[in-house]
Chain A
Amino acid sequence: GENVEQHPSTLSVQEGDSAVIKCTYSDSASNYFPWYKQELGKGPQLIIDIRSNVGEKKDQRIAVTLNKTAKHFSLHITETQPEDSAVYFCAALYQKVTFGTGTKLQVIP
């Protein structure tokens, strides 16, 4: 089955700096890669996604890149704000969604 690895497990950045979270996946058949933000005690919220026929997607301060050859994809958050602090999960989909292990992002004011 699919295996998704996510790094780092924790990340602290100063407000205004950029944050990058990286994931790798094992199944080359995976074709959809969403990213979720989960705040404490809440369900995950879809923040951006990318499909396998696209290499990069951007939505305001958030961007995702995908390298199908290397089977890795990354989340980039620019101009971080304290409200970006949360746990972020990457995921890969082929028939079903497999989640990464999560990254706890702390943005220090």
Chain B
Amino acid sequence: GAVVSQHPSRVICKSGTSVKIECRSLDFQATTMFWYRQFPKQSLMLMATSNEGSKATYEQGVEKDKFLINHASLTLSTLTVTSAHPEDSSFYICSASGWETYEQYFGPGTRLTVT
């Protein structure tokens, strides 16, 4: 099956710093990648959708200048949380889908803790 990796799996950073999370599709070309945020015991909330080579489309209420998304290749997307604050602490999950397919394959997630 399709494999998506994320790095790092856990990260702790100080308030005011920036953190970059990588999402890679290992065995298929991901034309579209999605970034989700999940709070404890809650569902996944879509933050943004990115297509390779295009600017990301952000969901309502998600600050594009705070959550920078880059999808520079068919196998890599990055999410940078800029000037992180404790309220940004969450579980961030990416997913990827390929050519003309509905299926999304999820990465293992990144636990971000901002102190």
Taking beta carbons and an 8 Å cutoff, which residues of A are in contact with B?
32, 34, 36, 41-46, 49, 51, 89, 93, 96-97, 99-102
Contact = CB atoms under 8 A, between A and B. Distances in A.
A46 B105 contact: yes
Given A43-B107, A89-B43, A96-B49, A32 B102 contact: yes
Contacts of A96: 46, 49
A28 B42 CA distance: 25
Given A43-B93, A43-B108, A49 B102 contact: yes
Interface in B72-106: 93, 95, 102-106
A41 B109 contact: yes
Given A34-B103, A45-B106, A89-B43, 6 more contacts: A43-B106, A44-B44, A46-B105, A49-B102, A100-B43, A102-B43
Given A41-B111, A43-B93, A44-B93, A99 B106 contact: no
A34 B108 contact: no
Query: What does DSSP make chain A's interface, helix, strand, loop or mixed?
Result: strand
Contact of A44 (B42, B102, B106): B106
Query: What does DSSP make chain B's interface, helix, strand, loop or mixed?
Result: strand
Contacts of B42: 101-102
Interface residues of B, number: 19
- 9 residue pairs, one from A and one from B, having the closest CB atoms: A43-B106, A32-B102, A43-B109, A43-B108, A99-B43, A44-B106, A99-B44, A43-B93, A101-B43
Nearest to B109: A43
A25 B17 CA distance: 40
Given A43-B93, A44-B93, A96-B49, A36 B43 contact: no
Contacts of A97: 34, 46, 104
